[in-house]
């Protein structure tokens, strides 16, 4: 038991018990060999074995649960990677930030405007991209692998959400420096350098983010944010805002 020596009281006690459990059976065996009352020797041998094993038994009883390798479940995104546009859409619908901002807008204007909240969300996410807090990876046509999008690209390109009959909302890329969005979704930029950089990003047929990195920035629940949302909803209720919208934003 010497390899378990410890400066702690518990470690010293375990070592002492281990030594005692080793010595006591030896004494019992010696008593039997010398011809003294054999029953005394037998008792010492039988009693010494549990003492010898007691440190190992104690460690076994105090063992912790084996660490799990399973990751914690995601809050509102599906799968370890998520399309950037879908992540923003679910962020508005399900994250603590999205419901808080929608409740704030409802309390101030007394009416819901999901499109407005979507555009604010794109600005919030874009700031995280520009600051390097969030990484986006892109896949080029006919390729299987995704490659990181260099951070400087987001200084020339912004995100914008437009209505989509199939997916409710669809994310498009627009050049910074001013742009006109045509009814068919075509974007006409004014800054040609930004247009060129945005055109480079548009060659990717898929832009994804890590769902865990995204939800870490905008979690499903946040105590302070949720408390602020409830205060805004109280204000909205007193002002006579849409009750169905209040009920939707009240859900956790």
Does a structural domain hold residue 72? no
Residue in the block written with tokens 């660490």: 67
Contacts of 226 (CB under 8 A, 6+ apart): 96, 99, 100, 252
Q: How confident is the model at residue 11 (pLDDT cuts 50, 70, 90)?
A: low
Sign, CA torsion 210/216/221/225:
negative
Is the pTM here over 0.75, yes or no?
A: no
Question: Buried b vs exposed e over 98-137: b needs ≥16 C-beta within 10 Å?
Answer: bbbbbbbbbbeeeebebeebbebbbebbbebbeeeebebb
| Total domains present in the chain | 2
User: 55 and 88 in one domain?
Assistant: no
Length of the chain: 252
User: 219 and 102 in one domain?
Assistant: yes
Range of the domain at 105: 81-250
User: 146 and 86 in one domain?
Assistant: yes
Of 10, 26, 61, the residue that ends a domain is 61
pLDDT at 233: 96
- The tens digit of pLDDT for each residue in 95-115 reads 999 999 999 999 998 888 999
162 SS3 class? strand
Assess contact for 116 and 191: CB atoms under 8 A.
no
């Amino acid at each position: 038991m010497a390899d378990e020596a410890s400066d702690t009281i518990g470690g010293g006690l375990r070592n002492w018990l281990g030594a005692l459990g080793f010595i006591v059976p030896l004494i019992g065996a010696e008593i039997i060999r010398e011809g003294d009352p054999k029953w005394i020797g037998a008792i010492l041998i039988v009693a010494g074995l549990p003492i010898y094993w007691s440190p190992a038994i104690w460690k076994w009883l105090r063992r912790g649960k084996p660490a799990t390798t399973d990751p914690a479940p995601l809050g509102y995104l599906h799968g370890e990677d998520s399309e950037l546009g879908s992540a923003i859409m679910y962020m508005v619908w399900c994250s603590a930030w999205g419901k808080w901002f929608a409740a704030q807008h409802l309390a101030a204007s007394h009416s819901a405007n999901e499109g407005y909240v979507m555009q604010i969300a794109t600005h919030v996410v874009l700031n995280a991209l520009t600051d390097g807090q969030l990484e986006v990876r892109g896949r080029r046509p006919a390729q299987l692998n995704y490659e990181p999008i260099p951070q400087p690209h987001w200084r020339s390109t912004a995100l914008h959400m437009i209505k989509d009959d199939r997916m409710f909302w669809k994310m498009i890329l627009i050049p910074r420096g001013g742009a006109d969005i045509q009814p068919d979704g075509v974007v006409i930029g004014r800054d040609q350098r930004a247009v060129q950089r945005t055109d480079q990003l548009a060659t990717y047929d898929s832009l994804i983010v890590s769902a865990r990195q995204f939800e870490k920035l905008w979690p499903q629940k946040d105590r302070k944010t949720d408390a602020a949302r409830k205060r805004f909803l109280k204000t909205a209720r007193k002002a006579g805002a849409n009750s169905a919208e209040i009920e939707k934003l009240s859900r956790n």
